[in-house]
Structure 1
Amino acid sequence: MKLFYYTLAGLALAVAICDAKASHKVTCTDETMRVDIALPSSNVSDDRVYLEGMKGYPNPLCRPKITENLATFELSLKNIYDCGVTRVINHITGNKVFYHRIIVEGEDQNTSSSSSNSNKEAVSVKCIVAGSPELNVSHSIVKRDILPAGFAETEDLNETEIITNAPEPKLSMAIRLGDKLVSGDLNVSPGAHLQMEIALDDKSAPIYGLGVNYMLVTDTKNQAETIIFNGCSVDPFLFENFNTVEGDVLAAKFRAFKFPDSTYVQFQSTVNVCVDRCKGVICTNGQTAFGRRKRREINQSPADPNKVYEVTMTTFIKVNYDENADQNAVSEIDQKIRQLKLTNQKLARNSRAGNVFESIHEAPRPQNGAGQAETITTPAAAAPT
């Protein structure tokens, strides 16, 4: 008799993963991730040891404390948005995985990008906090109770247990200006045409699919606006719906924009990871987010049955006004930001009123017998915590 089991479970550990030679130590608690990294010399300044994509980021919570040849990061696991810590929640085991990457620059930095990159080391660090399982997905084949008359089973049973663990997905988020990657230390002008890409690692891509459920943009101080709501864009002029071909890479085009009191813009995203492929979301403009299929009617979508992980991740861009920028484009972007604020106020009122069917945009249905167009509405839900 053979028993077959398929699980997506993992062990609850606190570990550190490194893809570089830099010696380091990670200490995990329920609230913090402490990373100690040995530096090549005592002359390394804190502007050469930084969180990936956040070089020059001014928040002192995200900068290391350097003592002689040791750099120490204290990253909050409660306020993960402070420094862009990625959180992965396994909805089967209940485990929470937190990870980040730290860049250590060498002493000799040349002007050419190839030389500069060759003098950088990336240290990947990870903490896993144990949780409670939500469901059991084990399946087994067992012997039937009803057997043919005269059936005799051998006493020497060959019993084998086969356990297969699916890989833990690793996600990356990148912003591109043409072919160039945009990070926190590279300025872009308001109105610049950018593209955001969210992708699975090569090992996970054949197994999982992605879907962006929610996205918030903030100046990291006191201003924040929702830009993706229930999988659909709130303002497609500023930020289009995410599309995909195979399901393991999502892409959305958007315009660079900023808030008045900060040059930094942070994108806070909630991404679903599903077995095989996430379900597309039908938006009020007739487009299916995460795909290109169109449909006439829009219904409230139930939770995706294939969802296995929920990933909260962030990225930053630095947007600054350029004297050579197109002032008409800048003015148009500013107007769209004001409209976005009004739309979010409407969403907030609807959430307080409990009206989960209020639409962001109105779209007509086919005309009824009276010759009048009816309004299709999109389900709304409170922002995830």
Structure 2
Amino acid sequence: MIRINPPRHPHSHSVPLLLTLTLVMLSPGALVRSQNCPTRDVTFELITGYVFTAPEFILDTRPGVLLLEECIEVCRQNVTCASVNYETGLCVLFMASARNNPGSLSRSQFPVFTLFAQKTCVRSARTLCPGRGWIFDRVQDFKMLGFARETRPADTVEDCMAQCLSQITFTCRSANFDTLKLTCEISDMDRHTVNSRNAFFPAIGIDYLENNCAEKPSSVCNFKPIKGQILKTVDSVFANIGSQKECEQLCVSSTYRCHSYDYGDTGTNICRMSHHSSETLRNIREPYLSAAQATTYELTSCFNVSVDCQANYMIAKVHTNRVFNGKIYGKTRPNSCTINVENKLDFELYLGFNDIDCDVKQETPGRFGSDVIIQHHDMIVTGEDVGLKVRCNYNLSNTTIVSDTNLSVKGGLNIAGAENTVVRSPNVTLRVTDRLGLDILSAQVGDALALRFEIVEKESPYEIFVRDLVAMDGLDSSEIVLIDSRGCPTDFSILGAIKEVEGSGKVLQSDFDAFKFPTSDLVQFRALVTPCIPRCDPVQCDVTDYYGKRQTTSSFGRRRRRRRRQIEGQDTGSKSDLMVAGVIRISDKFELASRKEQPDTLEREIIREDTHNVWTPQDSPEHVSCLNTVSFSIGATIFVFVQCVILGAWTYLYYRRERKKSEDSLASSLCSRSSSEDLDPYFVVPIPTHHRPCSDLSLEEHRSSRSQRSKLQHLEHFGPGRSGSFRGVYPRDL
């Protein structure tokens, strides 16, 4: 506060009033002019979670403003405006800012949070960062540890911002300004490129500055759904957006660094976007609004891919927005043409044209191409991974072509079979199902699936727990542990915790997104299941996922400690572990098929001509090249097997028919001979015969009758009393 003591005279009371009004009007509104700040240096900084409380300095209130950039631009065009408060749908302009009224800046009151932006003067800001509403997002009393590239002296926070913007040897993404030591630590990392849980900490007297002008990869981006919550305050709201993909594309192509969006949760065809994500809102109390049917999509990874074409090789260069751990390899040579990547934002893969290890194909004279996979996990392919086709064309005009269309290659996920292990008590099955427990007929990599362990006998007194769950490829050459010996998931991003289904310990389920191994279409699951009585208690698991998020959850993967009731041979439960296994077939996610044959399949191609750097999409079917030999072999085998079954069945029926005809012919012959013998004139007394038609006699009966007649003839010709004449044979002689 400035206190003025004017001279005493009869009208002295009006002088201090006039001077006070003059100070109020000039101090905040003429901030930039008072600092002699050139127009090109006037810009804005953003402070999230704080609100400027100064009703006496309100310049204007504008309801219905749905864009943060629009609110800032209104203030930029008004020379008397110094700062703004923004909430979704409300923009408040002030003649003062927190620079000359720091006591008026306080944390937003729960349950809402406000975005506060104020004018500042940063050297060459508009030149080095054109077209951005704000240049830095400032977090007071926080700092990022362990990633400083350089430490420089800085008199003010604006000086620290200017040094970050003007850095040319590397991309400055953030800085720590120490208000006490007057130092500036600049870094090529920020809260999005690294796991902020392990690097972002409170620090009194230090301001963390995040650069909104840093280049953002946008060619290939993946978003992860977070169900049940949406942000309370967002940067932009758009109406009449036709689809979720269109909303996602708006986020990727936005003028600021958009990191999350939601679609259709606050109204039909409403798209809301924000530069914040769960990584940047840790210092805000409950920034999300819980809603059962809502979903927020957070950016997990973005890639820019370029191709360097040389005389006899090409290099696929990848730039990502997040520190990458995984590998990049040629699709057809996952073991021989691969590069392991550890904690890098930029990496590349060398592809020699005559190198058999990488299998680069010459599609036409002067045109070389190869499929490249960017795989996050070291062993398995997941829905987060990216498939690209890179090409070099040496015989076209000087253009460089790339597609910024998101790749969505469907791969049929067919059940090859389920192998159920039957134990004495109880019987347990392992099935691969959807999240509702229904058997799946087809799926694709990244689809929502589940592993379901179930006791067949509904009245069984047992419950079960699962541990040592392993996924293996079809060649038994690679495997990954999904559930450890304690019963805890090793990586939440691959497989979730084991949960009871409908509160029953007889049915357990673990959700996962479909994945495969690079070397095989088959994924085999094997686990140890142990029954217990009366109940299996869950184990508390504390696991860090791929993105560094540490989660604590319960998993039904450990049997409760049993009391020693094995006195005199008695036991409270089964002592033996049961092994259950299952297998599914997942066709290649990155099979780049023709769009005419698969209309729902999009192909992402990176094609580099030999001289230019301009990229355009390429949709021609001639660019497609793929042959799934495993699927072809399996289909051929099934076809041959079916033909053999049909041939065997026909042969069996044919011989059966011939045999029956032969038996009927023999029976007819016996019947004819029997009739003639019954009328033999040499017999004085007719031989007794059956009183059934001959056609009704079976083959055995005919043979029996034939045997009796042979016996009678023997007695007639060779019996006692033969004297050259025939004697009668009576029934008693038989």
Which category of TM-score, normalised to the shorter sequence, fits these structures? 0.3 to 0.5
TM-score (norm 1): 0.37
TM-score (norm 2): 0.20
Q: Which has the higher contact order (CA 8 A, sep 6+)?
A: 1
